């Protein structure tokens, strides 16, 4: 006969295993669900689904941000539609421009504290390659932007490396702060660093109503240029003038190349700020004066642009590509919001659940400035 003690003795090791398993299941870090808008397939705005996802878990050098506002960019639309070669795990959370409050900091984080109001630098990079170490982190081979390969801000929480977390300018609301990083960094890098715009030069800015266009008008004025801005409606042209545009061109009623020639006495402009691509490309180049520079950061209307090479060399034109900007440049440009020399341009604020409506607005060019989502 085995008896009870003998039986327990036989079961003992197994019972321990069972008890341990029971304990560990009940002591797993609880997977808190956060509200988010995520995509699981490419397509139209309808693929943006309101859902719940586990809260992000931070590493020792990361910060958890409670998102208070996330502004949209055309980049979000491209990623939603699908870009060749771009892979991410699904469900994927879009959103590059994030402002919020620090919810939790990793053990090694020294630069921010819980409850601090912050804005995130949208560009992620390795921070140890030759480009990163020379302050040109937007040239890093592993450069990424929130919401592109990693999850972004269309959610209640997002995690970030500590060096992307910047104190929010105090006088700005979260909605305003989230409207700054990507477009102002992009326009600052294009006009300040790439074409080195000088006081007194003439600058043509396409699509004044876009986020990057509304930033470029202001930066053009800040750097002392005479700014010509194009838009599709009289109301948008009024707003462009209120941001500082000296001359405005309604491209629906007037060919912008003819208008530029007329406004400059056939000379052409020193610099064209391009981001519309195929629809404007050839006429943008022909809008330049001899020795002029064209700088581009996008191609929302199409990817192919013709170029007569004879025109390029005989008129000594420069064509410059630009993508985002360095983290240091973001700190630089943020300084101009403290004293009001630059201002965020918020078109509308929508609840996170209306992400699809927000995408439709920027695809239809219905906005002037930035569309912001709040969770």
- Closest contact distance (angstroms) between CB of 133 and Zn ion is 8
- Closest contact distance (angstroms) between CB of 121 and Zn ion is 14
Q: Identify which of residues 229 and 326 has a Cβ nearer to Zn ion in the complex.
A: 326
State both tokens at 284: 């943008």
Q: Are 138 and 322 in contact (CB under 8 A)?
A: no
366 SS3 class: coil
Q: Identify which of residues 160 and 202 has a Cβ nearer to Zn ion in the complex.
A: 160
Q: Identify which of residues 69 and 140 has a Cβ nearer to Zn ion in the complex.
A: 140
State both tokens at 71: 């502004």
Residues, the chain: 375
Q: Identify which of residues 234 and 328 has a Cβ nearer to Zn ion in the complex.
A: 328
Q: Which stretch binds Zn ion (CB under 5 A): 93-101, 130-138, 254-262, 340-348?
A: 130-138
Considering only 47, 50, 101, 129, the residue that binds Zn ion (CB under 5 A) is 129
Q: Which of 123, 178, 120 is nearest to 149 (CA)?
A: 123
- Rounded to the nearest 10 degrees, what angle do helices 234-242 and 211-222 cross at? 40
- Closest contact distance (angstroms) between CB of 88 and Zn ion is 20
Mind giving me the DSSP string for 170-215?
A: TTS-HHHHHTSHHHHHHHHIIIIIIS---TT-EEEES-TTSHHHHH
Q: Identify which of residues 142 and 242 has a Cβ nearer to Zn ion in the complex.
A: 142
- Closest contact distance (angstroms) between CB of 129 and Zn ion is 3
Q: Identify which of residues 134 and 252 has a Cβ nearer to Zn ion in the complex.
A: 134
Greatest C-alpha distance within the chain: 112
- Closest contact distance (angstroms) between CB of 159 and Zn ion is 20
Q: Which of 283, 271, 168, 288 is nearest to 223 (CA)?
A: 271
Q: Identify which of residues 121 and 289 has a Cβ nearer to Zn ion in the complex.
A: 121
State both tokens at 1: 């006969």
Q: Which residues contact 252 (CB under 8 A, 6 or more apart)?
A: 232, 233
- Give the count of residues interacting with Zn ion (CB under 5 A): 5
Say how far apart CA 52 and CA 238 lie, in whole Å: 42
Considering only 38, 109, 140, 243, the residue that binds Zn ion (CB under 5 A) is 140
Mind giving me the DSSP string for 260-290?
A: HHHHTTT--EEEEEE-SGGGTHHHHHHTEEE
Q: Identify which of residues 78 and 163 has a Cβ nearer to Zn ion in the complex.
A: 163
Neighbours of 152 (CB within 10 A): 26
Considering only 53, 132, 371, 373, the residue that binds Zn ion (CB under 5 A) is 132
Residues 249-288 that bind Zn ion (CB under 5 A): none
Interaction of residue 320 with Zn ion, rule CB under 5 A:
no
Q: Which stretch binds Zn ion (CB under 5 A): 129-137, 146-154, 187-195, 319-327?
A: 129-137
210 SS3 class: coil
- Closest contact distance (angstroms) between CB of 12 and Zn ion is 55
Residues 220-239 that bind Zn ion (CB under 5 A): none
Site string for Zn ion, 89-128 (x = CB under 5 A): ------------------------------------xx--
Type and span of the H or E element at 10? helix 3-26
- Closest contact distance (angstroms) between CB of 142 and Zn ion is 6
307 SS3 class: coil
Chain residues binding Zn ion by CB under 5 A are 125-126, 129, 132, 140
């Amino acid at each position: 006969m085995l008896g009870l003690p003998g039986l327990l003795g036989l079961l003992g090791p197994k019972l321990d295993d069972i008890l341990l398993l029971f304990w560990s299941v009940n002591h797993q870090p609880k997977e808190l669900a956060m509200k988010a808008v995520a995509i699981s397939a490419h397509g139209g705005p309808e693929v943006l689904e309101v859902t719940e996802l586990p809260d992000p878990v931070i590493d020792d050098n990361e910060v958890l941000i409670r998102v208070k506002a996330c502004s949209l960019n055309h980049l979000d639309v491209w990623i939603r539609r699908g870009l060749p070669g771009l892979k991410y795990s699904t469900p994927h959370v879009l959103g590059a421009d994030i402002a919020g409050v620090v919810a939790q900091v990793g053990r090694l984080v020294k630069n921010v504290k819980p409850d601090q109001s912050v804005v995130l630098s949208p560009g992620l990079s390795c921070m140890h390659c030759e480009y990163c170490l020379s302050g040109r982190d937007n040239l890093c081979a592993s450069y990424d932007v929130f919401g592109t390969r990693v999850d972004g801000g269309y959610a209640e929480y997002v995690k970030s490396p500590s060096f992307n977390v910047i104190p929010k300018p105090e006088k700005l609301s979260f909605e305003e702060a989230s409207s700054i990083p990507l477009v102002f960094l992009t326009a600052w890098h294009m006009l300040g660093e790439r074409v080195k715009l000088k006081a007194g030069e003439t600058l043509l800015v396409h699509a004044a109503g876009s986020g990057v266009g509304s930033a470029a008008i202001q930066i053009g004025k800040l750097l002392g240029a005479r700014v010509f801005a194009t838009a599709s409606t009289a109301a948008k042209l009024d707003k462009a003038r209120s941001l500082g545009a000296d001359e405005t061109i309604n491209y629906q009623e007037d060919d912008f190349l003819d208008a530029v020639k007329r406004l400059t006495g056939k000379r052409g402009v020193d610099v064209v700020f391009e981001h519309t691509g195929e629809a404007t490309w050839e006429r943008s180049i022909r809008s330049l004066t001899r020795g002029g520079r064209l700088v581009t950061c996008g191609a929302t209307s199409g990817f192919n642009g013709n170029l007569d090479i004879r025109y390029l060399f005989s008129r000594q034109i420069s064509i410059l590509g630009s993508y985002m900007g360095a983290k240091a440049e973001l700190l630089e440009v943020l300084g101009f919001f403290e004293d009001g020399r630059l201002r965020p341009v918020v078109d509308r604020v929508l609840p996170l659940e209306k992400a699809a409506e927000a995408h439709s607005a920027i695809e239809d060019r219905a906005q002037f400035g930035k569309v912001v989502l709040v969770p």
